[in-house]
Amino acid sequence: MGEAQSAPERFATILHVTAETLRAVGIVTQPFIPGAAAKLLDLIGVPDDKRRMQDIGAAGRLEAGRVLPAPVPIFPRYVEAEAAEPAGS
């Protein structure tokens, strides 16, 4: 087995793999949810010219240590409508 990672190194690795997975998901979903996919790719700092299918994989990976913008919601928050009170209450 390889060298054990410290907790911060492991955390950084997990975040980087998550960002890479989201990058691929964002690229693949562009034809179906273009606005949301663009917001996702913006949040992880993917340049407009690196959002093509051929950019998925090692050649288009995000560099480690990249500073990301402040997070913002991609989808509006769902708020359930209050139930109408019965007539005569």
pTM above 0.85, yes or no: no
Judge whether 53 lies within some domain. yes
Q: Is the dihedral of CA 43, 48, 53, 55 positive or negative?
A: negative
Judge whether 87 lies within some domain. no
Report the number of distinct structural domains present in the chain.
Answer: 1
Judge whether 81 lies within some domain. no
- Give the per-residue pLDDT at 68: 85
Q: Which domain holds residue 36?
A: 7-57
Among 26, 31, 21, residue whose Cα is nearest residue 47: 26
Instruction: Give the model confidence (pLDDT) of 19-44 as tens digits.
Output: 999 999 999 999 999 999 999 999 99
Among 23, 85, 89, 84, residue whose Cα is nearest residue 56: 23
Judge whether 21 lies within some domain. yes
pLDDT greater at residue 1 or residue 29: 29
Query: Using 50, 70 and 90 to split pLDDT, how confident is the model at 5?
Result: confident
Judge whether 15 lies within some domain. yes
Judge whether 80 lies within some domain. no
Q: What are phi and psi of 45, to 5 degrees?
A: 75, 35
Judge whether 82 lies within some domain. no
